[in-house]
């Protein structure tokens, strides 16, 4: 496989402010790690409901600042640290207070930087309950598979969770974190450096277009909603958001080495009892030389979307895992 590595953090082709910002993020992550910072990221609605409570209007701790993304007063951080974070752009002024432009979430003993709440920008980098389920699916595969992993790819890597988990579990593997979002690639580079996974490289790619060769493991947790604003971190295309996931399946199964596996975590919308994702994906994987399985991890996610015009005919959206292994 021909891997084009992203330059080490910071990159020579980055501007001075970008270098300063990314190094400041890495330093902040190390500071939070040393302090034992922990935060489990919830759904946007649960996040909103927590922050709407009167007692949560202002942050009282670093967990409030960098997890719940609440505004805070100057006294919450040492003056030198506050000025440094303001200077790098990680913090900004907000209604007479200060607020973080990023959040930090924990997964086991790892920390991941991702976008602030609410995730409304087109280049937002999402982390949430789907991320935890995706991580569980990857870890189960790594525990139970005996196939050696020399090359791996995380398609639509976002904050880099999939790539970093694989890279940490298989130190001899070359792992690509692929995304079309430059912000996601920068956050992945910070998170990989924080995790000490030097075998993880972040690279700009539309699915697998920028990487050649075959892979022993390909994982993906793509956007799977049909988003009216077509935001990159959320929009999965037509057929109620399942189009991108089907496209990933079609390209990934062609790039598996013998014994290699595609593990795709996505959302599957159902209309009149028909799973729109599985209906199309089955045509691509139920063929000679491929073994596959399909599992619902949660039968009902993002139920609030059923109230929108896009999902007027949908019965439900399930969180599913499609596993495809090339046998010959």
Domain for residue 55, yes or no?
yes
Of 115, 140, 159, the position where a domain reaches its end is: 115
Does 250 lie in the same domain as 286?
yes
313: exposed, middle or buried (Cβ count in 10 Å: 0-12, 13-18, 19+): exposed
pTM of the model: 0.93
Does 69 lie in the same domain as 153?
no
Of 115, 141, 166, the position where a domain reaches its end is: 115
Domain for residue 6, yes or no?
no
Distance between CA atoms of residues 42 and 59, nearest Å:
17
> What's the CATH code of the domain at 178?
3.40.50.150
Is the separation of the CB atoms in 99 and 91 below 8 Å? Answer: yes
Does 193 lie in the same domain as 62?
no
Distance between CA atoms of residues 43 and 258, nearest Å:
38
Q: Where are the beta strands (DSSP E) in 205-328?
A: 215-220, 256-271, 274-275, 290-298, 316-326
Does 239 lie in the same domain as 183?
yes
Of 49, 83, 115, the position where a domain reaches its end is: 115
Does 110 lie in the same domain as 196?
no
Does 95 lie in the same domain as 208?
no
Distance between CA atoms of residues 227 and 233, nearest Å:
10
What total number of domains does the chain contain? 2
* Confidence (pLDDT) at 309: 94
Distance between CA atoms of residues 197 and 174, nearest Å:
10
Domain for residue 287, yes or no?
yes
How high does pLDDT run on average in the chain?
94
Helix (H) or strand (E) holding 204: strand 200-204
Does 291 lie in the same domain as 171?
yes
Domain for residue 145, yes or no?
yes
Kindly report, residue by residue over 37-84, the tens digit of the pLDDT: 999 999 999 999 999 999 999 999 999 999 999 999 999 999 999 999
Does 163 lie in the same domain as 95?
no
Kindly report, residue by residue over 280-301, the tens digit of the pLDDT: 999 999 999 999 999 999 999 9
Is the separation of the CB atoms in 181 and 121 below 8 Å? Answer: no
Kindly report, residue by residue over 100-121, the tens digit of the pLDDT: 999 999 999 999 999 999 998 8
Does 70 lie in the same domain as 176?
no
Domain for residue 121, yes or no?
no
14-18, 21-25, 270-274: least confidently modelled range: 14-18
Does 148 lie in the same domain as 102?
no
Boundaries of domain holding 321 = 129-326
Domain for residue 231, yes or no?
yes
Domain for residue 192, yes or no?
yes
Domain for residue 5, yes or no?
no
Does 304 lie in the same domain as 269?
yes
Does 149 lie in the same domain as 93?
no
Is the separation of the CB atoms in 199 and 182 below 8 Å? Answer: no
Distance between CA atoms of residues 66 and 87, nearest Å:
17
* Confidence (pLDDT) at 232: 75
- State yes or no: pLDDT of 4 exceeds 60: no
């Amino acid at each position: 496989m021909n891997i084009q590595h992203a330059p080490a953090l910071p990159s020579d082709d980055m501007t001075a402010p970008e270098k300063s910002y990314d190094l400041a993020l890495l330093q902040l992550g190390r500071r939070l790690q040393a302090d034992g910072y922990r935060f489990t990221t919830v759904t946007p609605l649960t996040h909103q409901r927590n922050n709407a409570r009167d007692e949560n209007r202002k942050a009282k701790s670093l967990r409030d600042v960098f997890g719940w993304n609440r505004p805070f007063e100057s006294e919450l951080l040492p003056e030198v640290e506050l000025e440094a974070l303001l200077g790098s752009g990680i913090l900004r002024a907000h209604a007479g207070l200060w607020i973080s432009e990023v959040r930090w979430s924990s997964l086991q003993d790892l920390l991941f930087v991702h976008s602030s709440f609410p995730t409304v920008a087109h280049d937002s980098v999402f982390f949430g309950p789907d991320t935890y389920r995706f991580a569980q699916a990857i870890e189960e595969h790594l525990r139970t598979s005996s196939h050696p992993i020399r090359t791996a790819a995380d398609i639509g890597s976002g904050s880099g969770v999939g790539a970093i988990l694989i890279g940490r579990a298989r130190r001899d593997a070359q792992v690509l974190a692929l995304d079309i979002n430059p912000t996601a690639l920068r956050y992945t580079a910070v998170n990989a450096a924080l995790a000490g996974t030097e075998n993880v490289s972040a690279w700009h790619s539309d699915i697998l277009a920028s990487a050649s060769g075959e892979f022993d493991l390909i994982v993906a947790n793509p956007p799977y909603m049909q988003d009216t604003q077509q935001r990159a971190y959320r929009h999965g295309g037509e057929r109620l958001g399942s189009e991108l996931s089907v496209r990933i399946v079609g390209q990934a199964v062609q790039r598996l080495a013998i014994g290699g596996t595609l593990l795709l975590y996505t959302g599957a919308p159902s209309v009149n009892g028909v799973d729109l994702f599985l209906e199309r994906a089955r045509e691509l994987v139920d063929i000679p030389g491929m073994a596959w399985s399909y599992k619902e991890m949660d039968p009902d996610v993002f139920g609030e979307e059923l109230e929108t015009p896009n999902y007027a005919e949908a019965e439900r959206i399930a969180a599913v895992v499609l596993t495809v292994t090339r046998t010959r």
